[in-house]
A and B are shown apart, each in its own frame.
Chain A
Amino acid sequence: MIELININKSFDDKQVLFDINAQFLSGKNNLIIGASGGGKSVMMKCMVGLLHPESGQIEFDKRDMLSLDEQQLREVRREIGMLFQGTALFDSLTIEQNIEFPLRMFSKMTMAERRDRVNFCLQRVNLENINNKYPSEISGGMKKRVGIARAIALDIKYLFCDEPNSGLDPITSRLIDALIDEITKEYGITNIVNSHDMKTVFDIGDHILFMYKGAVRWEGSRQDLSHAQKEIKELDEFIQASYFH
């Protein structure tokens, strides 16, 4: 479980996160939704350590990321996988080398074991025979799946997905959603997804957090969403706008 306690973050004089308190549950798809500029990406970057909040605590299973030393922080980070919005695959490496990268850096596996693990991860995301291709030679949907394969190459506990469906057609989006859901449930991962896509929310969202202007406006389950929509004007506007998006 990941817990955020009183997180505040500013850029120069502009505060972008206001006293964020939230819990992200293990084995669940925790979705962060909200309009662009609402603070979703900043919050995710704070959680994975790419940004540092001014105050608060970020606890990964009771380990406060903000008070760990550099070595301890690296240990925790090795339990984190992240699927970036632009996939962030290393473009000078082949698909196989991309997935092998975290194994090569952090595991003591032999070359044959690493290759087996790469092939297993590729099969897990329903990709085969692309080991020797470069990221520029495959489609956007395949890149996302390779990104997921790289994220799960090590035995991770936490998966962060930043806009996993951006730039994908609706059918591929659903495939990616289903894959993320399967992997989360199968490995009991704490999965956190930033998304604008209400279809994703209704399909796989177990725990939903709605952000509005840098603050958590609503938090609850998918089943509670329609009830909350009637009571919270900003959430209703966001969901209504999504239908016409």
Chain B
Amino acid sequence: MNLSFFYHFGRYLIFLRSMLYRPEKMNVFFQRLFDEMTKIGIGSLAIVAITSLFIGAVTTVQTAYQLVSGLISKTVIGTIVSDSTMLELGPTITCLVLSGKVGAHISSEIGNMRISEQIDALEVMGINAPGYLALPKILAGIIMIPILNIIAITLSIYGGYVAGELSGILTHEQFVVGAQSTFKGFTLFFSMIKAFTFAFIITSVSSYQGYFTKGGALEVGESSTKAVVYSSVLILFFDYLLAELLL
């Protein structure tokens, strides 16, 4: 770990603190928040739906493939699909996908504004640029990504159920009984904690990378790449940390 880590971490914290001013105009702020929620939520719905459906389906098929013993009930497949979806596949895979889609978009949008002096224009006008640009994105992510997580979990379990039925691996009743048998409210709560944490990581890290872009188009691309890589690594690190702390 070299000194540049501390430099960037310190600057990241200062960047976050600089957003904590009252917005210049609340109606403009809420308009921007709503726009960002639409972009992040509606804009990511298709990719989240496709990813989740297939992950659920694949989990069912692969779990069935590994259950070679006749002594184990097929309801276990439903249990594994629902629990692993809620605990890991829903929040983590969804957020890794979103770090690519949403993170790269945020970073390149803010980075482009930086290199074309649009952020300078905001600052010259006396507008708190981090608060105006990044705060609505971060709040929109924290609101919408957990909702996307719920959708992802629902579709993933549904994908698992459909795959099980279509391939004849298990019946509808077996899947539902298995899925319900070990359900705990805390599992879903834990999944949501992960989604909130990952949402903050994706949006804040990407905003930071975009905001401090220097140079031209090439550097905007580099910032986007860094946003995706750092967000993904941090998601995996906090995935482990939260599991250690809360399970």
The answer to whether B116 and A105 have CB atoms under 8 Å apart is no
- Return chain B residues, CB-CB under 8 Å to A104: 25, 28
- Return chain B residues, CB-CB under 8 Å to A105: 24-25, 28, 125, 127
The answer to whether B118 and A88 have CB atoms under 8 Å apart is yes
- Return chain A residues, CB-CB under 8 Å to B173: none
- Return chain B residues, CB-CB under 8 Å to A91: 112, 116, 118
C-alpha spacing A119/B121, complex, angstroms: 21
Name the one of B24, B25, B117, B126 contacting A88, with C-beta atoms under 8 angstroms. Answer: B117
Q: How large is the interface on A (under 10, 10 to 19, 20 to 34, 35 or more residues)?
A: 20 to 34
Report the count of interface residues on B (CB-CB < 8 A): 15
The answer to whether A85 and B117 have CB atoms under 8 Å apart is yes
Residues of A contacting B: mostly: mixed
C-alpha spacing A74/B113, complex, angstroms: 21
A48 located at the interface, meaning its Cβ lies under 8 Å from any Cβ of chain B in the complex: yes
The answer to whether A84 and B117 have CB atoms under 8 Å apart is yes
- Return chain B residues, CB-CB under 8 Å to A7: none
- Return chain A residues, CB-CB under 8 Å to B28: 104-105
Q: Which residue of A lies closest to B120 (CB)?
A: A50
C-alpha spacing A106/B113, complex, angstroms: 21
Binds B, one of A29-37, A75-83, A173-181, A217-225: A75-83
Q: How far apart are B109's CB and chain A's nearest CB, in angstroms?
A: 8
B165 located at the interface, meaning its Cβ lies under 8 Å from any Cβ of chain A in the complex: no
- Return chain B residues, CB-CB under 8 Å to A140: none
- Knowing A91-B116, A104-B28, A105-B25, the reply to whether A77 touches B121 (Cβ < 8 A) is no
The answer to whether A86 and B117 have CB atoms under 8 Å apart is yes
C-alpha spacing A75/B25, complex, angstroms: 15
A73 located at the interface, meaning its Cβ lies under 8 Å from any Cβ of chain B in the complex: yes
B247 located at the interface, meaning its Cβ lies under 8 Å from any Cβ of chain A in the complex: no
- Return chain A residues, CB-CB under 8 Å to B120: 50, 84, 88
Q: Which of B110-137 contact A (CB under 8 A)?
A: 112-113, 116-118, 120-121, 123-127
A102 located at the interface, meaning its Cβ lies under 8 Å from any Cβ of chain B in the complex: yes
17 pairs, CB–CB < 8 Å, chain A vs chain B: A49-B123, A50-B120, A50-B124, A73-B126, A74-B126, A77-B125, A77-B126, A78-B126, A84-B117, A86-B117, A88-B118, A91-B116, A104-B25, A105-B25, A105-B28, A105-B127, A160-B124
Residues of B within 8 A of A (CB): 24-25, 28, 112-113, 116-118, 120-121, 123-127
